[in-house]
Amino acid sequence: MWGGRFSDKPSDIMQAINVSISFDKRMAEQDVRGSKAHANMLAVQGIIADTDNAAIQVGLDDVLGEIKDDTFPYRDGFEDIHLNIEARLTELIGETAGRLHTARSRNDQVATDFRLWVRDRLDGFDGALADLQRALLGQAGKTADMLMPGFTHLQVAQPVTFGHHMLAYVEMFARDRARFADCKSRLNESPLGAAALAGTPYPIDREMTSDALGFSRPMANSLDAVSARDFALEALSCTSICATHLSRLAEEMVLWTSTQFGFVTLSDKFTTGSSIMPQKRNPDAAELVRAKTGCITGALVSLTMVMKGLPLAYSKDMQEDKKPVFDAFDALALAIAAMTGMSADMNPNANSMAKAAGAAYSTATDLADWLVRELGLPFRQAHHATGEIVALAEDRGKALHELSLEAMQKVLPQINEGVFDVLSPKNSVASRTSFGGTAPDNVRAQIKVWQERLGG
């Protein structure tokens, strides 16, 4: 494609380091879409003849058909997807194909293709995350009253319900969807027509190509149009945050399915066995979701390092921008699918969780709140008195609600029978009626809100 300037072909090593068709062929359909829009605009503007455009459109449709049928002849001799498609188009329609590249460069072409590819995949993430939310919401609907321990520092803190815990992740993944949507709104500007870096003297209509490709507007600065990869960095940032949320839920599944916790079980669909220990059921799907976060966050760091020292406008370094994004997006798509499957597959163990919910004096805060509310004690004094009662219960090997009234009155004589109304985990959970709290009525109300938002 640049043979007029060069008298010798690239060395084998140069060819090996320069070729990107092995991975950028994933943008083949986006490249055809961009080329069709560009050719139509050139014809409307009188830059190429209508007959030439007609031939180009037919040829590109044939190329697209080969791509979809997996019969397109990808060749390393044409280093990237853009040259591969142009070469194939030339084979199909002859020298007319050479008019397609008028008023554009591979610089604006690849920037356009890459934005289109990322945009398409962001839409896919939104749908996949909505499915995951529905799976979690299904669990919440069945467990709005099911007690479990809430933790801080991985120590039993206060009772909550399993449904409330599921809804926490519904909220997290909603923010992930919002981040992807926000990222999409920012990346949705068209670089096409910026050419190599300075624009073009041809009377092109960038608004036309922008509209044809579903962009909100053309990018306003030609240097920025071919240089910017912050859209990819932002997409990877959103991907990394989402993967972190998936990893946290995966980690909880690993803990919950252990013998020591016994909170949930996963079926054979999402577990594996051991080659030597026949009793084992390993939560490998959850562990692999957890591990994928390293790959995804690593991709963000990788692309940041590629871009950090590049002057404007285009440098060949930017050929390395796509593979981290492709790899991270693939990993996230698989992780979301696996987590959706596991979330629907989980079988909560109500007895095990209820027992744990009442352990470790988890209603101590309820006792302190009762002392404030019913006896008028300052919270710090109530906190101190509750600590003494917990120490007494621990010394006697009893739960708080198993202590006698007389025992508690030795610490604080004002305590009366009403204290037992708040000492059980069930009553503790029911009392947490503040907005966003774990009371079952709250959980059921939020489930209805999310069912309306998610359409079922």
Query: What residues are labeled active site?
Result: 153, 274
262/350 Cα distance (integer angstroms)? 10
Contact of 105 with 38, CB cutoff 8 Å: no
Place of tokens 């760091």: 301
**Nearest-5° Cα angle at 106, 16 to 323:** 50
The CB density around residue 135, as the number of other CB atoms within 10 Å, is 21
- The b/e string for 175-206 (b: 16+ C-beta within 10 A; e otherwise) is ebbebbeebbeebbbbbbbbbebebbeeebbb
Q: Which residue in 256, 249, 347 sits closest to 292, CA to CA? A: 249
Q: Which two tokens stand for residue 362?
A: 């988890």
Contact of 139 with 348, CB cutoff 8 Å: yes
Place of tokens 């796509």: 322
Contact of 406 with 384, CB cutoff 8 Å: no
Please report the sign of the dihedral spanned by the C-alpha atoms of residue 134, residue 137, residue 138, residue 139. Answer: positive
447/13 Cα distance (integer angstroms)? 59
What lies within 8 Å, CB to CB, of 128 at 6+ separation is 333, 336, 337, 340
At 355, the amino acid letter reads: K
- Rg over CA atoms, the chain: 30
20/81 Cα distance (integer angstroms)? 8
Return the axis-axis angle of helices 162-187 and 230-256, rounded to nearest 10°. Answer: 170
Q: Which residue in 388, 386, 391 sits closest to 371, CA to CA? A: 386
| C-alpha distance across the termini of the chain, in Å | 54
Contact of 141 with 152, CB cutoff 8 Å: no
List C-alpha distances in Å: 285 to 275, 337, 342.
17, 10, 8
